[in-house]
Structure 1
Amino acid sequence: MPWKIKCTSCNTEGLLNVSFDISRQKSIYHYCRVCKKNTFNEILGYIE
């Protein structure tokens, strides 16, 4: 099941599929398709 994340640069929301719990982190460094670079993404929650 995916995690919902939001880019802190452009506010684009997306989904991230990882097999481990990232709920204790505030943000994750991930590639943004809109910004076309790695940015910090805020973790909004887990989608069941």
Structure 2
Amino acid sequence: MPWKIRCANCNTEKVLNISFDISSQKTIYIYCNVCKRNTFNEILGYYE
């Protein structure tokens, strides 16, 4: 399931492919390739 997310620090948007539903969450804490560290990312929605 592809999800569109945005880094809270640098506002970089990317697609996150994971196999479970994260629609009940507002943010997810993962590695940002631009910031080069783990950051909070806003979940923008399901990407079709």
Q: Structure 2 length as normaliser, TM-score?
A: 0.95
Question: Matches of 2:46 and 2:31 in 1, distance apart?
Answer: 19
Name stretches of at least 5 consecutive residues in structure 1 with no aligned partner. none
Letter in 1 for 2:5: I
Higher strand share: 2
Q: How many residues align?
A: 48
State the partner residue of 2:37: 37
Structure 1: which 4+ aligned runs deviate by more than 6 Å? Answer: none
Aligned-pair identity (%): 75
Q: What are structure 2's unaligned runs of at least 5 residues?
A: none
Cα RMSD after superposing both structures: 0.6
Secondary structure of 2:9's match?
A: coil
Q: TM-score, normalising length from structure 1?
A: 0.95
